[in-house]
Chain A
């Protein structure tokens, strides 16, 4: 075998990509995004948009673990988002723990809640599972409003501005953009590691056919819980970062079905559900578009941006099921003359 063949066999045994193959691609993509940040380093407005895009890219990527790869349509991820936010906020404000350190318990608590909440509910199929997760969101939102010592109730929780790296509070937008890019990086690499591993194949098998997966010896419930825990942990970290970014949030914002929970799913679908880079593409597209629409229409047509987004969602479900990523790979394949 030639050296190139040996390399290919190592990275892609029998044409199946491994993590070793995927990681350099991840890094290349992240480097491109870093270059993008650098290009806009003086433009606070654009950096803001990029930070938002990267945050949601990371969130959508984490949702994709259960939603896209495992096929479990969770509408309850805002619970983990809020858990991460409140854990970090409380540790920082009440116990003066650096938010960087607080990310760890935030991730663990989110994962723990995810397992506890999903375990009874995973036996439900399809839409029933989706509704149970929605219901859980409502329950926990109610509880969060009620237990206001932890969450600040309707007043919300607010983090005073005290700039400093240890506090994860920055004066400049560039640092936040980099922070969010870092979150996206972690999410992307974790998703790649899962996708190119035994766990990833098992999750996809569960998505395609649970009975067949069982017949292949897969402990379906266990794998679903593992996926959920990983997904929730990342989402929790995202929530914590979000809170340190906006520094004030109330339960309806953090638990929001439409602005958080559904948005993660929406972005993933538009970008390409079940793919590694789909959520990232979706986030870049949706966040930038939203900002554009809000600027153009927000004043004259209240809700105009959501009308457009709604139509895009319907259109994607009908015509572009594989999302932007799928459309792009389809085009590339057609140019290369391969059958799609």
Chain B
């Protein structure tokens, strides 16, 4: 009995990680309809940012968040303005451009770090918390909490604030939003910046968990997209829940089927959802067509 509880616990904690990593991607994809293949690299940069802050300023990664997140917001906004804005409406070119960005970011870090593997220490690193027969690593619990807080915060922001409503308006109907006086490109720039910042935040909070290498970004991008698609584009709640679905699936598949096949199971599930319900579990039916169809 405690075995399955353990697996579920592992799955939920994994889910927390995936939710955190995917919330930025969900925002970008849901609003701007850009396939940002470089999103995993933003997470990676968050991690390396935490490392740099620790080495240079002796900051704990949880403190470094204050530096890393705004830095990544800036990077995101610049990337959008310079590279992606000119490519509006050409998904194939956007895919190429973000892939190019992925290659540049990954290999710049490789060149700078010389391929050495780094790790980050935190005050919370080896601490754990016990509930009943189960033990939870504190860092993972913090990640889970953070993802919940971020998801809730983002959801409320989008729903209640004026800027958030503008973002939702643009996501639903770009032209109508323009007619209402919303500066669509500004919204896009900010959204992309926020998406990058959230990825950086995730990287920072997760940095004590992983041994960093420049390629670590690619470990995140596919599960992140799986989460976004499963949960439903543009739905903050959907991506949040999607993270847990992915985490639980991975944990259960790893235990009951075969650890080396857990990726296969996960992606098979992802493909099936894509085919059967492309708008995801929480998205509106047809959400996946918005932005891909001419709206005039």
A and B touching (Cβ–Cβ under 8 A)? yes
Q: A interface vs B, CB < 8 Å?
A: 71, 73, 120-121, 123-128, 130-132, 134-136, 138-139, 141-143, 145-146, 258, 262, 265-266, 269, 273, 301-304, 306-307, 309-318, 321
- A310–B96 alpha-carbon span in the complex (Å): 9
- A134–B261 alpha-carbon span in the complex (Å): 16
On chain A, the residues within 8 Å of B5 by CB distance are none
Q: Are A121 and B274 in contact (CB under 8 A)?
A: yes
Q: Are B100 and A311 in contact (CB under 8 A)?
A: yes
Mask: chain B, 113-136; 1 = CB below 8 Å from A; 0 = not: 011000000000000000000000
Q: Majority SS of interface residues in chain A?
A: helix
Q: Provided the pairs A130-B95, A306-B107, A321-B93 are in contact, do residues A142 and B100 lie with their beta carbons within 8 angstroms?
A: no
List 30 A–B pairs whose Cβ atoms lie within 8 Å, in order of A's numbering. Answer: A121-B271, A124-B275, A124-B278, A126-B292, A127-B91, A128-B229, A130-B35, A131-B274, A132-B271, A132-B274, A135-B226, A138-B222, A138-B263, A142-B261, A146-B260, A266-B99, A302-B110, A303-B106, A307-B103, A309-B103, A310-B100, A310-B101, A311-B104, A313-B97, A314-B100, A317-B96, A317-B97, A318-B83, A318-B86, A318-B97
| 9 closest cross-chain pairs (CB), A and B | A310-B103, A313-B100, A303-B107, A310-B104, A142-B264, A314-B100, A303-B110, A127-B35, A317-B97
On chain A, the residues within 8 Å of B264 by CB distance are 138-139, 142-143, 146
Q: Which of B87, B95, B104, B110 contacts A318 (CB 8 A)?
A: B87
Q: B interface vs A, CB < 8 Å?
A: 35, 83, 86-87, 91-97, 99-104, 106-108, 110-111, 114-115, 214, 222, 225-226, 229, 258, 260-261, 263-264, 267-268, 270-271, 274-275, 278, 288-289, 292
On chain A, the residues within 8 Å of B261 by CB distance are 142-143, 146
Q: For residue A143, which residue of chain B has the nearest CB?
A: B264
- A266–B92 alpha-carbon span in the complex (Å): 11
On chain B, the residues within 8 Å of A126 by CB distance are 35, 91-92, 292
Q: Which of A134, A138, A321 has the largest number of chain B CB atoms within 10 A?
A: A138
B221 to chain A, nearest CB (A): 9
On chain A, the residues within 8 Å of B111 by CB distance are 301-304, 307
Q: Are B107 and A73 in contact (CB under 8 A)?
A: no
